[in-house]
Amino acid sequence: MRYPITVEKTGTGFFVSFQDIPEALTEGQTMDEALEMAKDALETALEFYFEDERSVPMPSVPAKDQPVIELSASLWAKVLLLNAMVTEHIRPVDLARKLEVKPQDVTRLLRLRHPSKIDSIANALHAIGKTLELVVH
- List the beta bridge partners of residue 16: 7, 26
Q: What is the pLDDT of residues 21-41, one digit of tens each?
A: 999 999 999 999 999 999 999
Cα separation of the two ends of the chain = 12
**Could you tell me which of 28, 14, 18 has the C-alpha nearest to residue 49?**
18
Cα(127)–Cα(135) distance, rounded to whole angstroms? Answer: 21
Position 136 pLDDT exceeds 90:
no
Position 137 pLDDT exceeds 90:
no
pLDDT of residue 134: 86
Q: Rounded mean pLDDT of 28-57?
A: 96
Q: What is the pLDDT of residues 71-119, one digit of tens each?
A: 999 999 999 999 999 999 999 999 999 999 999 999 999 999 999 999 9
Domains of the chain by residue range: 2-70, 73-127
pLDDT > 70 fraction of the chain, expressed in percent and rounded: 100
Contacts of 11-17 with C-beta under 8 Å, sequence gap 24+, read 16/41
- List the beta bridge partners of residue 15: 8, 27
51 in helix, strand or coil?
Answer: helix
Q: Topology of domain 2-70, per CATH? A: Double Stranded RNA Binding Domain (3.30.160)
